[in-house]
Each structure stands twice: as structure tokens, then as C-alpha cells.
Homo-oligomer: A and B are copies of this chain.
Amino acid sequence: MSPGTWEARLRLWIVIDGRNALGPGKVRLLEAIAAGKSLSAAAKQLRMSYRQAWKHLRLVEERTGIAVVEPHRGGRSGGGTVLTPQGKALLKAYHEFHREVDEHARSACVRHFNRWFSPRVRE
């Protein structure tokens, strides 16, 4: 069987003092909070308990030293959680970091594996 399309795929973490401070899971949680302005809705969407979601946030904040969420002021529901300006900026920095490393990984993948896979048909 010959391979068709082939590419690099990666997962990327910021590790502080040897521990995961920000990676795919925590980023997804922050994105869900940014979209829904609610920690409980974000947790539900990601199929984790409120307690697990809260723990993830606490670990991000403890390990980075950055307050990433704050209570949602205003709004009809009268409660909720939003990203702080710093939390939004940190998320943006992660996305830019991820995009750059991902692009590099894809081009490096072609360079390192072209002789293995290129003769085969690519879609």
C-alpha cells in the first residue's frame, strides 16, 4: 500500500518548572471561555467537570503567574467568566507561536521525508 498525503502533526506545550502550563487542552478551555463567557458552559462543551475546568485554570494562573480569567461584569445572566486582557494576549501569543512552529514542522517534514514518500502518488 502506498501512502497518499503525508504531513507533520504536532502538539505543543509551554512547560514551566517542568510542568505543563499551557498546551492544547488548556488552550481549548480558554478558547471555549472566550467564546461562551462561561466556565460551566466551556466545561460542558469540552466534556469535563466544572471542577476539572476550574483546576486547569488555576494551574495556568499559578504556573504562568498571569491572571487569565475574571468574573463577567454586566450581561443579562448576571454571572459568568471572561478572559482578562492578559489572558487574551497570552492565548494570541500561543496561537502565533503554534502557527510558526507548525509551519516550520511541515516544511521540515517535507525536507526530511521527501526521499521516503515523494515518489508515491500524492492527492
Contact = CB atoms under 8 A, between A and B. Distances in A.
Contact of A6 (B4, B11, B14): B14
A35 interface: no
B8 A11 contact: no
A100 B108 contact: yes
**Interface of A (DSSP majority class):** mixed
Contact of A66 (B18, B105, B109, B116): B116
Contact of A112 (B10, B16, B97, B104): B97
B12 A105 contact: yes
Interface of A: 1-18, 20-21, 62-66, 90, 93-94, 96-97, 100-101, 104-105, 108-109, 112-113, 116-117, 120
Given A1-B62, A7-B15, A64-B116, 20 more contacts: A1-B63, A2-B65, A3-B17, A5-B16, A5-B17, A6-B14, A6-B21, A8-B101, A9-B14, A9-B20, A14-B109, A16-B117, A93-B112, A93-B116, A94-B112, A97-B108, A100-B108, A101-B101, A101-B105, A104-B108
